[in-house]
Structure 1
Amino acid sequence: MKYNLFLITSPLQLINAIEAKAHFKLTLNILVVIFTEHESKNKNQISRLINEDEWDKVIRFDQRLKNSKTTFLRQIKLVRLLQKESYNMLFCGDFSSINKMIIANVQKKKVYLMDDGAVTINRYLNELGVRYSDQKIPLKKKVRQWRFNLFGLKTIPTDTINMFTSYELTPHGNEEIVRNELKYFKETFLAQAMIDNTVYFLGQPLSEIHVIKRETYLEYIQAIRNYYDTKIVYIPHRAEHVIDDIIAMEDERFKVVYTDLPIELEFIMTNRYPMQIGSFFSSALFTLNIIYPEATIIAFEIEHDKMITPRPAIDNVYNYMAKSTSIKKVPLGSL
């Protein structure tokens, strides 16, 4: 008896895992949830999405502990546990060190990378084009890998990495690219959806991650407010920790609304069909563009001279939007 193995670290990865399970009509499925972020909202969102009855086994692994020695031994224990089974298909949403070690050490027939938002585009362009064995590894990382080698564990997978993705990607070699059209979610939840003409703007932690300065972010939000001529609901990203300055902008036409669910599921679970969605380059724009094809979705393009440092990865995302999606790109410099 062979299982299918799903490794996830974020709510979006879990959504895509559920979709993959339905798309490939898989039975006997093990879900491994790896908590990596030091903030509770990510964990709470994942926990709300998990229906234990839909999985044959759910394994939770908390990698947020500060004791590196304890984490090291617990990682070995997790890999040993997963080695007790063999798998038909293995799905993961990223190539963290623990995921790569699991891929390298369990028996499986196929490996699929699922979408992890817009980072998937850059990961595919830059990381998957080079075999792991050919990548240069810093000495400090090599030393960490040698510790696992001493326990008989490999740290570098040699498998072909196939894709289960919503993005239009061209194969590098002999990998399989399977299009994720979110069919399960659309067929299951959209039949009763009601049209909603409110503008939903998805916030991003751009000042927190030092893409742009805070004052620039606030100037952009004000410009976007002026761009729309109807009510706007600003939905903060879970990593936006201080938004008092955004809340201070509230009036009859601009409201800040928090959600405990990933925005894709917030609309689905409340039976809304949003007709207007905006953000900068949020990963959710791609997913929402597939789920709600009738919606007008706008990506407001950040000016290069306003970025703290050049970000080619952000350019890749905007370029992909313009080339391969119906998302409208609006340069913020033109507002």
Structure 2
Amino acid sequence: MTVFVIESPFQVMNAIEAVHHFKFKDNVLIVLLSGLFSKESYERIIDKKQWKEVRYIPFRYKLTNSDFGLHPPKNVYERMQELYLTLDRSVKKKVINNMCRSLGRVDNLVLGSYRRYYDIHMRHIANNVDHNRLFLIDVGTDTLEIGRQRIEEHNAGSGVLGDEPAKSLKSMLRDKLVEWDGTGVDSLTFFTSYDFEVSDPDRVIKNDYRYFKSLADRAAVSDCVWFIAQPLVEQEYLTHEVYVRYLAKVKQYFSGRPVFYIPHPRESGRYIDLARDEFGFETKRFDVPVEYAVTVGGSRPQCIASFFSSALENFAVIFGNRIDIKAFYLHVSDLLKNHESVDEVYSLYVSKGMDIEVVS
């Protein structure tokens, strides 16, 4: 049996590709409903006839802007928030532990994320489901970050560094009832469209989107441009002023051509309105991943553009030079964080000879 645990419709698309690539049998799909995507958005791309079982597990986080691990509560209100978050995590851990026990031993465990800090419940699942082999499907550019984290873990070693100090009863109870087990596994296999180095015994298997390529050939071509947005201000990559300046450059570059602005699920309505009202972009929304909409839908644009969205690489793999793909370069001096990571993405476009034009 192969079990997939995913948290976004895009991960469903990659799960479908993995089933076809590896010819997995007896496939179980588990969707953690975090609140970012509705159950209906998953149901639009999940054909239950293709799965042995499909489970939906409520997993919605609230008060996501509060991190009392970094900033201890300062007043009674914040102490109440901390207590709520502790109890909420305890409930979620019990739900996940019950799920893990219900699965028994599986041949392949396929996760939708494995980040060290933000998706630590996925690591907990890997440590609590008895499996023969662990796979990680693409999670956009976060896949590159996970690859770097895995190298750091291997370089640090997994041996015992010495006796751990004795824990208090409170700490032991918290570990048992509240905290996730974020210990890194010995090895995992990346199933990804990205090319990057990993350290032994991790492996990379190329996702060439062969299944979705076969569907893409049916799509008719329109003469418009789709600009795939990213929540760059919300995620603190750019200031508001700099982001507006880059949008103006995009508008100027495509002057005279019909451009559709494709909002990101985590993007603020403020920037969707700005793209429409100030720059005159038409907006086009999808309830499915944009890659899925193009390959399975009836038409595709003549040009796809963005900054460093993972969708660009996916389209390059699926369509090659049959679609015009442009990545607008964000200068290092304009970025507020992750300078090397972002530049690495642009370098991959060029060094790997992909059908992606980097526009300076």
TM-score, normalised relative to structure 2: 0.79
Residue 68 (structure 1) aligned to one of 74, 89, 102: 89
Alignment of 1:237-248 (within 5 A): 237-242=264-269, 243-248=272-277
Aligned counterpart, 1:39: 36
Change (3 A) 1:111 1:69: closer
Q: CA deviation at 1:240?
A: 1.6
Residue 318 (structure 1) aligned to one of 343, 346, 351: 346
Change (3 A) 1:75 1:238: same
Q: Do residues 30 (structure 1) and 57 (structure 2) align?
A: no
- Structure 1 counterpart of 2:302, one-letter code: M
Q: CA deviation at 1:146?
A: 6.9
Q: Do residues 109 (structure 1) and 132 (structure 2) align?
A: yes
Residue 81 (structure 1) aligned to one of 102, 114, 122: 102
Which whole-Å CA distance do the structure 2 matches of 1:299 and 1:225 have between them?
14
Aligned counterpart, 1:166: 193
Which whole-Å CA distance do the structure 1 matches of 2:172 and 2:344 have between them?
31
Q: CA deviation at 1:155?
A: 4.8
Q: CA deviation at 1:190?
A: 2.1
Alignment of 1:68-217 (within 5 A): 68-82=89-103, 85-95=104-114, 96-131=119-154, 134=158, 147=174, 149=176, 155-187=182-214, 189-217=215-243
Structure 2 residue matching 1:130: 3-state secondary structure: helix
Calculate percent identity across the aligned residue pairs.
Answer: 27
Unpaired segments ≥5 residues, structure 2: 63-87, 160-164
Which whole-Å CA distance do the structure 2 matches of 1:297 and 1:145 have between them?
53
TM-score, normalised relative to structure 1: 0.85
Q: CA deviation at 1:309?
A: 4.0
Give the aligned length.
316
Q: CA deviation at 1:145?
A: 8.9
Aligned counterpart, 2:78: none
- Structure 2 counterpart of 1:303, one-letter code: H
- Structure 1 counterpart of 2:41, one-letter code: Q
Q: CA deviation at 1:298?
A: 1.0
Kept in 1: contact 2:151–2:198 (CA 8 A)? no
Unpaired segments ≥5 residues, structure 1: none
Aligned counterpart, 1:297: 325
Which whole-Å CA distance do the structure 2 matches of 1:133 and 1:80 have between them?
29
- Structure 2 counterpart of 1:100, one-letter code: R
Q: CA deviation at 1:39?
A: 3.1
Structure 2 residue matching 1:261: 3-state secondary structure: coil
Aligned counterpart, 1:249: 278
Change (3 A) 1:231 1:264: same
Q: CA deviation at 1:148?
A: 5.1
